[in-house]
Amino acid sequence: MSSADTTRPPSQALTRGLAILRVVSEARQPVTSTEIARRVGLHQSWVSRVLKTLSAAGYVRKPGYHSFAADYGVLTLGGNSLHQFPLITKTKAAMLEFAEKAEGMQTALAILWQGQLIYFHRVQKGREPVPLSVGFPLHLSSVGLRLLADQPKAEALEALKESKRRYGWERPTQHVPRTPEDALRFARGAIRHDCIVLNGYYQPGLLGCAIPVVAPGEPRAALALSGPDKLHGIDTVLLMLQQGRRTIEAAISRK
């Protein structure tokens, strides 16, 4: 490849097409081409042409005359690549073990990717594990707030503002900050022993804590515990997270 090729800007058409596919894939219900065009900031006629191409390739379908939804091509694209992600494949057994020890509390392992939370595992003893899921309001997530607390201020605030545009800014309790700036300030002040502590944050009597997980060659992740505060004291939860982190990091690094 020539030096000219390496410095060439990315294809605008491909970038815009991927943005359209992302909007369709993340939508909770079918969306119209008009709404898609509004979200990506492109002309509707151009968006309609891209949707036609994506539909022909099996990535988009039309459940209604004027609406679009993800097709099974999106599932095959993601599902066939899961084996390439150690944070998913290597941590499953470790997360099950962690949930056993954290009896009564929900465990979660997630990363923050381009401003979106990706949950690899949500496990609670005695319940069916929740599979891979994407998206959640960052200001209501212990994982999201813990990861944002370590990011540069401008980057963290942009992620919170984008999350607000996507999901709104619900405040289930008065502990939840009113603005992205207040949320980031709160997150950075709520760190204890490398863990974020959200006590009564979502609702009275509910505790949520998260700790960073770092492994060579992998994006920074976070491990979380949440549940009724009467089950375990905060110090016990923080100790469990410290121990859980070591187990998860060892599992990821294992050959």
Say whether pLDDT at 5 is over 80.
Answer: no
| Lowest model confidence (mean pLDDT) among 65-74, 77-86, 225-234 | 77-86
Task: Say yes or no: 97 and 161 in one domain.
Answer: yes
Residue 218: closest CA among 82, 77, 78, 88: 88
Q: What share of the chain has pLDDT > 90, as a percent? A: 68
Report the domain count for the chain. 2
Q: How far apart are CA 192 and CA 149, in angstroms?
A: 12
**pLDDT single digits (tens) 174-217:** 999 999 999 999 999 999 999 999 999 999 999 999 999 998 88
187 with 148: CB under 8 angstroms? yes
Question: What's the chain's average pLDDT?
Answer: 90
Say whether pLDDT at 2 is over 70.
Answer: no
Task: Say yes or no: 183 and 215 in one domain.
Answer: yes
pLDDT for res 6: 53
64 with 30: CB under 8 angstroms? yes
3-state SS record for the chain: CCHHHHHCCCCHHHHHHHHHHHHHHHCCCCEEHHHHHHHHCCCHHHHHHHHHHHHHCCCEECCCCCEEEECHHHHHHHHCCHHHCHHHHCCHHHHHHHHHHCCCCEEEEEEEECCEEEEEEEECCCCCCECCEECCCHHHCHHHHHHHHCCCHHHHHHHHHHHHHHHCCCCCCCCCCCCHHHHHHHHHHCEECCEEEEECCCCCCEEEEEEEECCCCCCCEEEEEEEECCCCCHHHHHHHHHHHHHHHHHHHHCC
pLDDT for res 56: 94
The pTM (predicted TM-score) of the whole model is 0.82
CATH number at residue 22: 1.10.10.10
Task: Say yes or no: 7 and 46 in one domain.
Answer: yes
Say whether pLDDT at 50 is over 70.
Answer: yes
Task: Say yes or no: 119 and 193 in one domain.
Answer: yes
Neighbour order of strands in the sheet with 31-32 = 31-32, 67-70, 60-61
pLDDT for res 10: 65
Over range 93-111, report the average pLDDT: 92
Question: Cα–Cα distances in Å, from 177 out to 115, 168, 181, 185?
Answer: 19, 13, 9, 9
Task: Say yes or no: 231 and 140 in one domain.
Answer: yes
Domain that holds residue 25: 3-75
Reported as a pLDDT band with limits 50, 70 and 90, residue 238 is: very high
At 88, phi and psi to the nearest 5? -95, -55
**pLDDT single digits (tens) 128-184:** 888 788 889 999 999 999 999 999 999 999 999 999 988 899 999 999 999 999 999
CATH number at residue 163: 3.30.450.40
Task: Say yes or no: 98 and 182 in one domain.
Answer: yes
Q: What share of the chain has pLDDT > 70, as a percent? A: 96
Over range 3-25, report the average pLDDT: 76
Task: Say yes or no: 122 and 245 in one domain.
Answer: yes
Task: Say yes or no: 124 and 179 in one domain.
Answer: yes
